[in-house]
Structure 1
Amino acid sequence: MKPTTLVEFVRDTYQTDKFIPLHAPTFSGNEKAYVNETIASTFVSSVGKFVDEFEQKIEAYTGSAKAVATMNGTAALHAALYMAGVERGDLVITQALTFVATCNALYHMGAEPIFVDVSPVSLGLCPKAVDTYLGEYAELTEQGCVHKKTRQRIRAVVPMHTFGHPVELDELVAVCLKWQLVLVEDAAESLGSFYKGKHTGTLGDYSAISFNGNKVITTGGGGMVLCRTKEQGARTKHVTTTAKVPHPFEFYHDEPGFNYRMPNLNAALGCAQMEVLEAYLVKKRVLAEQYAVLFAGSEYSFVREPEYAQSNYWLNAIICPNKSSRDQLLEQTNAAGVMTRPIWQLMHRLPMFQNALRGDLTHSEFIEAHLVNIPSTPVEIVKK
């Protein structure tokens, strides 16, 4: 199959000769009405009815005990790691095949990543690889899980549900129990994805969702911390609201906190987007199926959801035969005004993480050299 075939399919699907982005926000409901209501109320900052309503909608949809809205996904992950007990000098196991925000949150906490390989099925952190790494390099002590060489505490495991495809959560939970580690899910990309009937982000102790402009639904900028218990949620909300103790007029803060709360203006957009989320997910699955048919029998392999999961197909992806064919596809599609993108460079290739501890990354390196993301915005009509 030639790159021009993909260009023709995408243009036919989106019915336009203009530039086609990878994933654009779609506004088809009450977004303007709710945002205008927020402006009229003057409550456009971190206090207002839409913040509470948005949190409740996410709780109801995901089944989380408590959801806490934040200003972006990185802030949500930072808060989740803080609540999980990650401290300066700790080690945290995560994947090298991820967006840099995963590691930025660790860096700004003074924690350090350990990069472990991903599964070729989920594209996310592989539980067998995690257990193998720990068996070789870690030991359990009175202080918990400790790295044999550095003697640093290994505190948490952070899988990322790559492009919305859920990782093997049961197996990761078991590994975390075995090694006394906290599971924090980076669910930034996976709103609307389910693992064995449970929404991603609800099996870990904490998780983080993103509502950036390129996600399945958007609040412009925004994130959400999902908490396992209401008690954890109450403390997370307290910490992310500058740890201010409620009082009619006094300003008293009982611990260091973050000013991470989502503005009411953004939450209004989110509430409207939640009303159309299910429709978006249906359209995205239809588009994914059309891509699967397009690439069937070709030298390109379409990335399907794992058998144990239902993915939101946030970003559709294909695996190219080799790096040269990947580069050719990227060059020709982008030159034709159809946005395609390679996956992120592996984190240990970036200067700030080049000295990080890591295990074997065979699958991560293969995916890095072969994967291309293709346009994934949900559309009203997809050509049959």
Structure 2
Amino acid sequence: MFKETVDFIKELYNTEDFIPLHEPRFIGNEKEYVNECIDSTFVSSVGKFVDRFEEEVVKFTGAKHAIATVNGTAALHIALLLAGVERDDEVITQPLTFVATCNAISYIGAHPVFVDVDKKTMGLSPDKLEDFLSKNTEIINGECINKSSKRKIKAVVPMHTFGHSVQIGEILQICQKYHLELVEDAAESLGSYYKGKHTGTYGLFGTLSFNGNKTITTGGGGMIVTNDERLAKKAKHLTTTAKVPHKWEYKHDMIGYNYRLPNINAALGCAQMEKLPYFIDKKRELADLYKTFFLKTGVEFVSEPEGTSSNYWLNAVILKDIKERDSFLEQTNNRGVMTRPIWKLMSSLKVFKKVQGGNLDNAKWLEKRIVNIPSSVII
């Protein structure tokens, strides 16, 4: 079966060369816009492409405001700060995620709390979230207090795994019930929707990533999206070192961050945004081809959850156990087809081993079985 899979992937990509997991495609105005940016000499944090890139993301996602940052982790860091998370507060998130989710929480001096995922979405489970909050918290003076640690729980950060939306509408309702801010880690889900609405636009904030391996890329980059005008202005202020506008004076009115996306990266992003609908169509076509193939093999292909439309950023399969998973990884990589396992659970990392968490059986089950397979757009 593994040989058939490798042969099928090589046939899809029409090559006997090494096939990476996900590589960018530059088939539009990338060189033109980057050269224009260089010619303008505005290659750093000021320039027309940064503003244009933000406008394009607003137009595409339906969010009212977008603030470009140097990467997705920086975007999440600022979003959490503006959501009111402070040192020694707690933030609920999922154990099955990329480490950046927990890093951003930790930058503030806050503490992650792990709640299990759903097998179908691979993202935060609303049922497990409700169960954890009902058993472990109490509302005191309008604040959610962890009965065990006595700390305030300020926010919930679900992550839309591999571009597949969590049940974000249900999670939002739970957050409202328990007086928690919802901040969506939508790093992987540009072009994904839950019940017709773009991921990242349900919460107070959503954050996107434009790393080199994402659906579109700026080389490195991120974005904060929000519908709150006041918070959007503050996010832009914070990410540009909190500098007060003046013709010549250097005045900063709070602790700020040098997180603004450079204009030269935004130039690349503007060209990529022009191709985003095409990329998503092609990625969904690729997912359909995989789905049809794996139906004949007995291996389960991870499909978009009901009520969602996924960008299929990284395609994934579910093997029957860790032994089969490791055999699949070894045989595919040995033949020049890059595959990789899902991340190690954050709760298993040394830096987060003492973090509170509920029953994580679904996350542990997925960790032993999920493998990503090549997902680059086929031109």
TM-score by length of 1: 0.98
Tell me, yes or no, if structure 1 residue 182 matches structure 2 residue 181. Answer: yes
Deviation at residue 6 of structure 1 after TM alignment: 1.1
Tell me, yes or no, if structure 1 residue 357 matches structure 2 residue 349. Answer: no
Task: Give the Cα–Cα distance (whole angstroms) in 2 for the partners of residues 297 and 89 of structure 1.
Answer: 51
Tell me, yes or no, if structure 1 residue 206 matches structure 2 residue 205. Answer: yes
Aligned 8 A contact 1:65 1:233 in 2: no
Q: What is the match of residue 195 of structure 1?
A: 194
Aligned 8 A contact 1:348 1:356 in 2: yes
Q: What is the match of residue 37 of structure 1?
A: 36
Q: What is the match of residue 264 of structure 1?
A: 263
What residue ranges of structure 1 are gaps of 5+ in the alignment?
none
Q: What is the match of residue 284 of structure 2?
A: 285
Q: Which runs of structure 2 are paired with 1:269-348 in the superposition (5 Å)?
A: 269-348=268-347
Deviations 1:18-40 (A, max 9, x none): 11000001100000000011111
Deviations 1:278-318 (A, max 9, x none): 00001000000000001004231000001110000000000
The 3-state SS of whatever aligns with 2:144 is strand
Q: Which amino acid aligns with 2:101?
A: T
Q: Which amino acid aligns with 1:54?
A: F
Tell me, yes or no, if structure 1 residue 58 matches structure 2 residue 57. Answer: yes
Task: Give the Cα–Cα distance (whole angstroms) in 1 for the partners of residues 130 and 232 of structure 2.
Answer: 29
Aligned 8 A contact 2:142 2:179 in 1: no
Task: Give the Cα–Cα distance (whole angstroms) in 2 for the partners of residues 149 and 233 of structure 1.
Answer: 35
The 3-state SS of whatever aligns with 1:156 is strand
Range 216-225 or range 136-145, more displaced = 136-145
Task: Give the Cα–Cα distance (whole angstroms) in 1 for the partners of residues 307 and 170 of structure 2.
Answer: 12
Q: What is the match of residue 13 of structure 1?
A: 12
Aligned 8 A contact 1:143 1:153 in 2: no
Give the root-mean-square deviation of aligned CA atoms.
Answer: 0.7
Task: Give the Cα–Cα distance (whole angstroms) in 1 for the partners of residues 231 and 374 of structure 2.
Answer: 38
Task: Give the Cα–Cα distance (whole angstroms) in 2 for the partners of residues 138 and 229 of structure 1.
Answer: 28
Q: What is the match of residue 109 of structure 1?
A: 108
The 3-state SS of whatever aligns with 2:368 is helix
Q: What is the match of residue 374 of structure 1?
A: 373
Aligned 8 A contact 1:154 1:181 in 2: yes
Q: What is the match of residue 78 of structure 1?
A: 77
The 3-state SS of whatever aligns with 2:376 is coil
Aligned 8 A contact 2:159 2:166 in 1: yes
| Percentage of pairs with the same residue | 55
Task: Give the Cα–Cα distance (whole angstroms) in 1 for the partners of residues 264 and 4 of structure 2.
Answer: 42
The 3-state SS of whatever aligns with 1:98 is coil
How many residues are treated as equivalent by the alignment?
Answer: 379
Task: Give the Cα–Cα distance (whole angstroms) in 2 for the partners of residues 5 and 366 of structure 1.
Answer: 26
The 3-state SS of whatever aligns with 1:276 is helix
Deviation at residue 253 of structure 1 after TM alignment: 0.9
Task: Give the Cα–Cα distance (whole angstroms) in 1 for the partners of residues 35 and 15 of structure 2.
Answer: 30
Range 89-98 or range 232-241, more displaced = 232-241
The 3-state SS of whatever aligns with 1:17 is coil
Q: What is the match of residue 242 of structure 1?
A: 241
The 3-state SS of whatever aligns with 1:367 is helix
Task: Give the Cα–Cα distance (whole angstroms) in 2 for the partners of residues 324 and 214 of structure 1.
Answer: 28
What stretches of structure 1 move > 4 A for 4+ residues in a row? none
Aligned 8 A contact 1:163 1:316 in 2: yes
Deviation at residue 143 of structure 1 after TM alignment: 5.7
Task: Give the Cα–Cα distance (whole angstroms) in 2 for the partners of residues 157 and 108 of structure 1.
Answer: 16
Task: Give the Cα–Cα distance (whole angstroms) in 2 for the partners of residues 143 and 109 of structure 1.
Answer: 22
What residue ranges of structure 2 are gaps of 5+ in the alignment?
none
Q: Which runs of structure 2 are paired with 1:213-228 in the superposition (5 Å)?
A: 213-228=212-227
The 3-state SS of whatever aligns with 1:92 is strand
Tell me, yes or no, if structure 1 residue 46 matches structure 2 residue 79. Answer: no
Deviation at residue 227 of structure 1 after TM alignment: 1.2
